[in-house]
Amino acid sequence: MKYTPVNKRKIINDPVHGFIKIPSTFIYDIIEHPAFQRLRRIKQLGLTSYVYPGATHSRFQHALGAAHLMGMAIQNIRLKGLKITEKEAEAATIAILLHDIGHGPFSHALEQSIIENFSHEDVSRLLMDKLNEEFKGKLDLALKIFSNKYHKKFLHQLVSSQLDMDRLDYLKRDSFYTGVSEGVIGSDRIIKMLNVVDDNLVVEAKGIYSIEDFLIARRLMFWQVYLHKTVLAAENLVARVLQRAKYVAGHDNNLFAVNGLKYFFKNNITRKNLYSKKEDIISNFVNLDDNDIITSTKVWINHPDKVLSILSDNLINRKLPKIIMQDQPFAKNVIDRKIKESIRTHNWNDEDIGYFIFTGSISNKAYSELDDKIKILYNTGETRDIVDASDIFNVSVLSKIVKKYFLCYPGSLL
Amino acid sequence: MKYTPVNKRKIINDPVHGFIKIPSTFIYDIIEHPAFQRLRRIKQLGLTSYVYPGATHSRFQHALGAAHLMGMAIQNIRLKGLKITEKEAEAATIAILLHDIGHGPFSHALEQSIIENFSHEDVSRLLMDKLNEEFKGKLDLALKIFSNKYHKKFLHQLVSSQLDMDRLDYLKRDSFYTGVSEGVIGSDRIIKMLNVVDDNLVVEAKGIYSIEDFLIARRLMFWQVYLHKTVLAAENLVARVLQRAKYVAGHDNNLFAVNGLKYFFKNNITRKNLYSKKEDIISNFVNLDDNDIITSTKVWINHPDKVLSILSDNLINRKLPKIIMQDQPFAKNVIDRKIKESIRTHNWNDEDIGYFIFTGSISNKAYSELDDKIKILYNTGETRDIVDASDIFNVSVLSKIVKKYFLCYPGSLL
Amino acid sequence: MKYTPVNKRKIINDPVHGFIKIPSTFIYDIIEHPAFQRLRRIKQLGLTSYVYPGATHSRFQHALGAAHLMGMAIQNIRLKGLKITEKEAEAATIAILLHDIGHGPFSHALEQSIIENFSHEDVSRLLMDKLNEEFKGKLDLALKIFSNKYHKKFLHQLVSSQLDMDRLDYLKRDSFYTGVSEGVIGSDRIIKMLNVVDDNLVVEAKGIYSIEDFLIARRLMFWQVYLHKTVLAAENLVARVLQRAKYVAGHDNNLFAVNGLKYFFKNNITRKNLYSKKEDIISNFVNLDDNDIITSTKVWINHPDKVLSILSDNLINRKLPKIIMQDQPFAKNVIDRKIKESIRTHNWNDEDIGYFIFTGSISNKAYSELDDKIKILYNTGETRDIVDASDIFNVSVLSKIVKKYFLCYPGSLL
Amino acid sequence: MKYTPVNKRKIINDPVHGFIKIPSTFIYDIIEHPAFQRLRRIKQLGLTSYVYPGATHSRFQHALGAAHLMGMAIQNIRLKGLKITEKEAEAATIAILLHDIGHGPFSHALEQSIIENFSHEDVSRLLMDKLNEEFKGKLDLALKIFSNKYHKKFLHQLVSSQLDMDRLDYLKRDSFYTGVSEGVIGSDRIIKMLNVVDDNLVVEAKGIYSIEDFLIARRLMFWQVYLHKTVLAAENLVARVLQRAKYVAGHDNNLFAVNGLKYFFKNNITRKNLYSKKEDIISNFVNLDDNDIITSTKVWINHPDKVLSILSDNLINRKLPKIIMQDQPFAKNVIDRKIKESIRTHNWNDEDIGYFIFTGSISNKAYSELDDKIKILYNTGETRDIVDASDIFNVSVLSKIVKKYFLCYPGSLL
């Protein structure tokens, strides 16, 4: 008789990729770590669910999905005859798994408000180092790959480049959860077409149309989802709620907040003191997630500070600012008119008006010439940059920065 | 020239049903109401995402989806020649939209811990009355349909019966988000087959196999998802966290909690005082959502009460109790052995052991003979109960209650 | 530099399973063989596209899909700790690939008309032997597995049993192509749950609900698709076209037909002379496909034989007989009334009336107690038949034969 | 009691769009017409299933799908406030339903071989006129719309333009059936964004990214599917089989062929005699479908003409010519070398070599400046051509003709 029970927990059901197998015990340990479990509590797309209600998926799912694609990519590259050791495969998988570990609640909300002087990438790096300590150096190779210090460059490129497993997963996943069906990309086909030349990642020429489609689909997702004007309005609102709360916390010691938030309200962290305070930063940052922001904001609705109260109510009950977008910066007189109307209608003073009426800009480009390029491999063995290889794209159009300006103002104004 | 701009916000992109059109301005007003917006902050499947990471969808989406199916069902029934007025259609849509409005965080977590004496249905009813007041009686007909006091019974049956739009939406949606593909049901086909005889909802005979499949798919979702043993363990854990927090709140006035939670920690609401305190209950209950539970639990990890601290850490960092399930109740000696081991290992006292080692039972039946039956309509005009109409089911097997018993104990025990 | 081109033809894009990899060169040779390529020209579901226009998929696709699932099943069983050699894996894959190789055009149309005395299984067997000769015995093990003479019974069960890869593929594929979404089964989950005990295939207990769903989904597909009454009408019509053509061929040597058809028109093959004439049978049978029947039928529309002409026109232009179905056989007087009406309306004589008015029966059962049973494996190591293991099914209901009777008559009659 | 049976045949289950409702009895009559039913027997993508085995769908399905999208487009445009009468809606639906009615077997196989002097568009027009006669002028408005003689230009544009319902359906459908998932387009979103300005179809500015994605997805489908090099090889092969058969028919009166084929073998139809012979042409052409070509080709395998025999065997058993593609025409010496090798290996004479070794070219452009442009409508009421509106495209790149040259030669040569 033959019967071997298997640890079923090591297979995870993902609606996007199907069954995902956790490839090793060590990777399972990392997934179980509180720092990684925390990603369950951070939505991949922040407040995007205010526009696309289906988009409630977490960074946890995305990290697992990207790791799954890494496994597939490695398997395919091996089939092309390239040797990748088990150690390298595990390290690359860990690197992609942890690539977003330092993400704060609501994407960049904190970065745009209470911790202006460093980015989630900085925190990711601090956290990875800390995990590496805890795991006694077992993350050394993963960190080398992550920071592009390993000689097999393509492993880093799979983790972070213009055609990395991060993008392949998030485009497919965000398209699935938002219902924006035309964002679907041929990740399976692209992965099948990956190869390696001189330690660099390339795409075989047959895959060129899938790459074109990938670049256009990504562009569509940017304008249709990530930079959707209502999403922008919501993200700017949450940032202002936190800014004001930090301001109020300056004189109101009893402002409701969890310790993690209080720390960043009280301390001005800059890149300079980042490393000296890293223990504090990590322990506070890692405690924060979407729930703290929402719970606090709900409490702040009843705060005597009128600005904080209104902003909080607007955020929680989806009374979003109106937003208009255009290709040129807004003329001063247009903004001033809105401000005047607002002062008349709402009686704001000059200092506070900026919480309700503000401008900003966003930009995006489909492809960057400066970053790691997407290289196409021909049967002849020759490689070419996608912008040279494609019949339809050329550098000037594809890598042009598209910049848009927005003006937000209260919904009660016309 | 002809160009009429349309309010685009009235079309919502749903990954499950595609584009959902909000059918009227009044319904849009209801959706914008804070009581309804709050459903965005309550996960449809609570802690199920601990097993199926994709299942992060909200009750907000589900309510919109069920309302969308209601519109389709009404349109189809009209095509069969039955008259349904615009008023009735709107009221039925509102009734389904609001059917879960009283749901608390993490499904029944509160009901199983800090508010044991009334259910979310009671709260739903209180809330609907309150909304009706605010909207000056415009919900009268919706409430009549909801409470089955309207003569066109089938409208109520579309809202709440064994074949209602609630079930058609949640099975399809939960299957989509968990990735349990075999939970897919033929909701479109079932809706096409709906008809009305003597004011009651019936399914045309051609749809009988889709109904069989629907009943089996629902059963599969129960055992595979809703009553999955790891989900049960997590749900029992959150209930115990709240129980303990309520206990601790009895002597620790500084226990971190939002006001909504504090209210239920301090007050014992029973069915008897429910109506007399309804204003308080509503204002506190409606303020609560998943975020408050998670944020508080994270804070409680550092509480000096050892039981609360451990339970909270277990919940947040997914250190779930082990759980075994069987068809019979657990023998006393089995439980006692676990308790003895636990006391030896963890040093719990007799009072606290119940937070860590406990038994319970769950049950489910595929079909109830007592509730509104699913009736099949033949070409002859005759109708029959599905259990009589189906070749494969019969009353005894289909409406049999399947009961399972579970025993939870700390993961550190064998 | 490292660049290894790979033979891309060995990956096939399947809309149902995604990319399918041909696992070995020998299997690729079999796929390239004319006998296998012929399956491209035979629709999996015959005339079902008269009801579900999307269902135009071929037996070729299905065979590849089933072989793909075989590969997945073998990989999973190996992960459970069971050894399956490369030889065995290849042989099992070949066995499933060839399981339908003897299928004639339009499913069983020929069997029900011009070659009544043997079945497609007989032809499959003849053809496999012939291929084995051509490939010099390299199919020995595949044939052993196919005919259940290999000691590892589970390999045969994967090819042919109540839970074989054939069924897993066709249910998923037919559901996909017809658009009958509720026919979807959890083939991935079922395959993950497969295990082997004492050389027999079992399903781990966690998979029990997926098996229940699979049995009900299969039942739904039978009544909704495979035995759909309009499909039955069409299949009976094509059989009658061929019957009449054979009859006409008896006196009209110039009847248009390809040689393959002519052979079966002229020769009465029985099980007895099957083997003695096997060379002829194979060469003629293997030449036939759906195209020959359609092309010939179109020509026969203009044949002077009125019966053949009308039947052919009816088939080509989808003027299908009316069909009624009931649970009891049709009373003689009901049939006689139809016949009388028909004679009055159409002037048929007594001999020919049977081509236009006829009865028959179909039957199906969800599960057979007599065939290889589906066995559930518990954690204890114990196994139980699905009908004992399931809470909802029991032998009597599940293995009950459901028989339905049909009566076909010209559409011009009421 | 209320029970109204509905004619169920008027709802068709389509795996791509779900349930399709036939909107009127007259349209149902057209669908039942033999000329339309014939489209069931013509594959939408001809021999593409030699590369993508799933792509067996018929022109019948595509025509129904395009008609379904027409209904949705009209409903949406009406919601924008534009009046479209029931008559106009029915006529536009009929126009799209019949747009491909004149398509011969295997796409353009006949046009490239035995009927070189007119196109399927000519036949479509002849057939529509004929149907209009049969239906006593009830197609008048549909024909007016089809030939762009109706003042509401947008109705014609929905039938035939660079953003017509034909393209929206075939891209989605071909993507579904081939499994080329990145060909998916947002047809629902595009249809939602359609509007009409000055009787012309426009797309509201919010839809611009979906249009960009649509153009790139179409381009991808062209190179990945429609002009896939193996598909090209197969299509060129079938054309050569028919050319040779026509040549052989010149001296062999007994060549096996159905009458429809014989007619085109014997008669040289040109644009000039097209109308004078239209009755013959229609009756013969309409009789032909994919089945006749395949059945005949199978018979021709045994024909004494060696060229016909080999070409036929190659086609049936998928022994496709090798094909190489490049951006420049092939140099004469490259072709001559292949010819020399081939003569040495196969002993072909100079006349016949052209059946086995030949060159050709294909071209495609993503967007045409000359045809009906895709116009984007801004909130200001202004409209702009997509090439001006898009940040990423410009006329020069988007409307550039991409031309590729191919050389086919026997697989037995290197």
CB contact under 8 A, D197 and B1: yes
Interface test with A, best of C3, C69, C190 (most A CBs within 10 A): C3
Query: Is D188 in the A-facing interface, judged by CB distances under 8 Å?
Result: yes
CB contact under 8 A, A392 and D394: no
Listed in sequence order, the residues at least 6 apart from B346 whose beta carbon sits closer than 8 Å to its beta carbon are B356, B410, B412
**Paired tokens of C22:** 């041909």
Rounded Cα distance, D92 and B250, in Å: 73
Residue C110: pLDDT band by 50, 70, 90 thresholds?
Answer: confident
CB contact under 8 A, C180 and D13: yes
Q: Which chains touch D (3 or more CB pairs under 8 A)?
A: A, B, C
Averaged pLDDT, C167-185: 94
- The nearest alpha carbon in chain D to A218 belongs to D213
Rounded Cα distance, B368 and B402, in Å: 12
CB contact under 8 A, D381 and B197: no
Helices (H), B347-394: 386-389
Site of tokens 């916390």 = A249
Res. A275: pLDDT tops 90: no
Model confidence pLDDT, tens digit, residues D392-406 = 776 677 778 889 999
Burial of A352 (0-12, 13-18, 19+ CB in 10 A): middle
If you count residue pairs, one on C and one on D, with CB atoms under 8 Å apart, how many are there? 109
In angstroms, the separation between the Cα of residue B8 and the nearest Cα of chain D is: 10
Query: Is D106 in the A-facing interface, judged by CB distances under 8 Å?
Result: no
Q: Which pLDDT score, from 0 to 100, does residue D3 have? A: 40
Q: Which pLDDT score, from 0 to 100, does residue A395 have? A: 66
Averaged pLDDT, A200-220: 93
Out of C2, C11, C192, closest to residue A11 by CB: C192
**Chain D positions in Cβ-Cβ contact with residue C259 (cut-off 8 Å):** 299
Res. D2: pLDDT tops 50: no
Rounded Cα distance, B17 and B320, in Å: 34
In angstroms, the separation between the Cα of residue D188 and the nearest Cα of chain B is: 8
Domain C8-218 = CATH 3.30.420.40? no
CB contact under 8 A, A15 and B58: no
Model confidence pLDDT, tens digit, residues A44-66 = 999 999 999 999 999 999 999 99
Query: Is B14 in the D-facing interface, judged by CB distances under 8 Å?
Result: no
Sign of CA dihedral D12, D14, D19, D24: negative
Model confidence pLDDT, tens digit, residues D207-239 = 999 999 999 899 899 999 999 999 999 999 999
CB contact under 8 A, C3 and A198: no
Residue C121: pLDDT band by 50, 70, 90 thresholds?
Answer: confident
CB contact under 8 A, B61 and A54: yes
CB contact under 8 A, B318 and A32: yes
Q: Which pLDDT score, from 0 to 100, does residue A8 have? A: 39
Out of C18, C43, C177, closest to residue D15 by CB: C177
Res. C5: pLDDT tops 60: no
Averaged pLDDT, B164-170: 97
Q: Which pLDDT score, from 0 to 100, does residue D7 have? A: 46
Site of tokens 């990214």 = D209
Architecture of domain B8-98+139-227: Orthogonal Bundle (1.10)
Query: Is B362 in the D-facing interface, judged by CB distances under 8 Å?
Result: no
CB contact under 8 A, D379 and B5: yes
Cβ–Cβ under 8 Å, residues A356 and A365: no
Residue A166: pLDDT band by 50, 70, 90 thresholds?
Answer: very high
Pairing relationship of beta strands D200-204 and D194-197 according to DSSP bridges: antiparallel
Q: Which pLDDT score, from 0 to 100, does residue B395 have? A: 66
Q: Which pLDDT score, from 0 to 100, does residue D368 have? A: 83
Rounded Cα distance, A93 and A169, in Å: 14
Pairing relationship of beta strands A375-377 and D11-14 according to DSSP bridges: unpaired
In angstroms, the separation between the Cα of residue C366 and the nearest Cα of chain A is: 28
Q: Which pLDDT score, from 0 to 100, does residue A273 have? A: 78
Cβ–Cβ under 8 Å, residues C58 and C42: yes
In angstroms, the separation between the Cα of residue C52 and the nearest Cα of chain A is: 25
Adjacent-strand bridge partners of B407: B324, B359
Listed in sequence order, the residues at least 6 apart from C46 whose beta carbon sits closer than 8 Å to its beta carbon are C106, C107, C109, C231, C234, C235, C238, C290
Averaged pLDDT, A317-326: 95
Rounded Cα distance, B250 and B268, in Å: 12
Site of tokens 């993008």 = A167
Q: pTM of the entire structure?
A: 0.93
Query: Is B365 in the A-facing interface, judged by CB distances under 8 Å?
Result: no
Compute how many other C-beta atoms are within 10 angstroms of the C-beta atom of residue B316: 21
Which residues 311-350 in chain A show a CB within 8 A of chain B?
316-318
Nearest to B393 by CA among C391, A209, C58: C391
Compute how many other C-beta atoms are within 10 angstroms of the C-beta atom of residue B384: 16
Query: Is C266 in the B-facing interface, judged by CB distances under 8 Å?
Result: no
- Higher local confidence (pLDDT), C261 or C277: C261
Q: Which pLDDT score, from 0 to 100, does residue C313 have? A: 97
Q: Which pLDDT score, from 0 to 100, does residue C2 have? A: 40
CATH number for the domain formed by residue range(s) D229-362: 1.20.1250.30
Burial of A333 (0-12, 13-18, 19+ CB in 10 A): exposed
Residue by residue, DSSP assigns B148-183 as T-SS-HHHHHHHSSTT-HHHHHHHHHHHHHHT-GGG
CB contact under 8 A, A220 and D214: no
**Chain A positions in Cβ-Cβ contact with residue C3 (cut-off 8 Å):** 195, 197, 377, 381
Adjacent-strand bridge partners of B197: B200
The residue from A57, A62, A120, A156 that is catalytic is: A120
Q: Which pLDDT score, from 0 to 100, does residue A414 have? A: 59
Residue A100 sits at φ, ψ, to 5 deg, of: -115, 15
**Chain D positions in Cβ-Cβ contact with residue C180 (cut-off 8 Å):** 13
In angstroms, the separation between the Cα of residue D205 and the nearest Cα of chain B is: 11
The b/e string for D101-133 (b: 16+ C-beta within 10 A; e otherwise) is bbbbbbbbbbbbbbbeebebebbbbbbbebbbe
Amino acid B312 reads S
Q: Which pLDDT score, from 0 to 100, does residue B414 have? A: 59
Query: Which run of H or E residues covers position C189?
Result: helix C187-193
Compute how many other C-beta atoms are within 10 angstroms of the C-beta atom of residue A37: 16
Res. A289: pLDDT tops 90: yes
Query: Is D54 in the C-facing interface, judged by CB distances under 8 Å?
Result: yes
Distances (CA, A) of C144 to C128, C149, C152, D134, D139: 11, 5, 10, 61, 63
Listed in sequence order, the residues at least 6 apart from D316 whose beta carbon sits closer than 8 Å to its beta carbon are C34, C37, D294, D297, D298, D301
CB contact under 8 A, C393 and B397: yes
Q: Which pLDDT score, from 0 to 100, does residue C250 have? A: 93
Q: How far from chain centre, in Å, is Cα A291?
A: 18
Q: What percent of chain A has pLDDT over 70?
A: 97
Nearest to C203 by CA among C385, C366, C72: C385
Rounded Cα distance, A82 and A94, in Å: 20
CB contact under 8 A, D196 and B2: yes
Rounded Cα distance, C252 and C249, in Å: 5
DSSP state of A58: B
User: Which residues in chain D are classed under CATH 1.20.1250.30?
Assistant: 229-362
Model confidence pLDDT, tens digit, residues C20-39 = 999 999 999 999 999 999 99
Query: Is A6 in the C-facing interface, judged by CB distances under 8 Å?
Result: yes
Averaged pLDDT, D360-381: 87
Distances (CA, A) of D142 to B69, D131, D132, D265: 35, 11, 9, 34
Mean pLDDT of chain C: 91
Residue A305 sits at φ, ψ, to 5 deg, of: -65, 115
What's the topology of domain D8-228+371-406? Hypothetical protein af1432 (1.10.3210)
Query: Is B411 in the A-facing interface, judged by CB distances under 8 Å?
Result: no
- Higher local confidence (pLDDT), D242 or C118: D242
Out of D189, D220, D393, closest to residue A213 by CB: D220
Rounded Cα distance, C83 and D377, in Å: 65
Mean pLDDT of chain B: 91
Phi-psi domain of C228 (left: phi exceeds 0; alpha: psi -120 through 50; beta: other): beta
Q: Which pLDDT score, from 0 to 100, does residue A187 have? A: 94
**Chain B positions in Cβ-Cβ contact with residue D18 (cut-off 8 Å):** 188
Model confidence pLDDT, tens digit, residues C243-274 = 999 999 999 999 999 999 999 999 887 777 77
- Least confident piece of the model among B4-18, B342-356, C290-304: B4-18
* Helix count and strand count (H, E) for chain A: 19, 9
For B351, the 3-state DSSP assignment is coil
Distances (CA, A) of C134 to A232, B129, C128, C277: 68, 81, 10, 18
The residues of C that are catalytic are 120
Averaged pLDDT, C210-220: 91
Residue B46: pLDDT band by 50, 70, 90 thresholds?
Answer: very high
Sign of CA dihedral B326, B331, B337, B339: positive
Res. A294: pLDDT tops 70: yes
Residue by residue, DSSP assigns B191-257 as HHHEEEETTEEEEEGGGHHHHHHHHHHHHHHIIIIIT-HHHHHHHHHHHHHHHHHHHHHTT-TT---
- Least confident piece of the model among B2-16, B32-46, D268-282: B2-16
Cβ–Cβ under 8 Å, residues B91 and B24: no
Averaged pLDDT, A370-375: 83
Q: How far from chain centre, in Å, is Cα C261?
A: 21
Rounded Cα distance, B14 and A180, in Å: 9
For B95, the 3-state DSSP assignment is helix
Distances (CA, A) of C21 to A38, A193, B244, C94: 38, 14, 55, 14
Question: How many residues comprise chain D?
Answer: 414
Domain A8-228 = CATH 3.40.430.10? no
Rounded Cα distance, D179 and D177, in Å: 6
Listed in sequence order, the residues at least 6 apart from B100 whose beta carbon sits closer than 8 Å to its beta carbon are B39, B59, B62, B63, B120, B124, B166
- Higher local confidence (pLDDT), C402 or A396: C402
Site of tokens 């975020």 = B291
Which residues 367-396 in chain A show a CB within 8 A of chain C?
377, 379, 381
Res. C88: pLDDT tops 90: yes
Q: Which pLDDT score, from 0 to 100, does residue C4 have? A: 39
Mean pLDDT of chain A: 91
Model confidence pLDDT, tens digit, residues B189-224 = 999 999 999 999 999 999 999 999 999 999 899 999
Averaged pLDDT, A276-286: 87
Query: Is B214 in the C-facing interface, judged by CB distances under 8 Å?
Result: yes
Model confidence pLDDT, tens digit, residues B82-113 = 999 999 999 999 999 999 999 989 877 777 77
CB contact under 8 A, A80 and C377: no
The residue from D120, D156, D228, D303 that is catalytic is: D120
- Least confident piece of the model among B336-350, C204-218, C373-387: B336-350
Res. D6: pLDDT tops 50: no
Residue A7: pLDDT band by 50, 70, 90 thresholds?
Answer: very low
* N-term to C-term CA, chain A: 78
DSSP state of B258: -
**Paired tokens of C144:** 């052993």
Model confidence pLDDT, tens digit, residues D310-333 = 999 999 999 999 999 999 999 999
Amino acid D178 reads T
In angstroms, the separation between the Cα of residue B177 and the nearest Cα of chain A is: 6
Nearest to D257 by CA among D201, D199, D298: D298
**Chain B positions in Cβ-Cβ contact with residue A14 (cut-off 8 Å):** 53-54, 179
The b/e string for D25-62 (b: 16+ C-beta within 10 A; e otherwise) is eebeebbeeebbbbbbbbbbbbbbbbbbbbbbbbbbbb
- ipTM given for this complex: 0.93
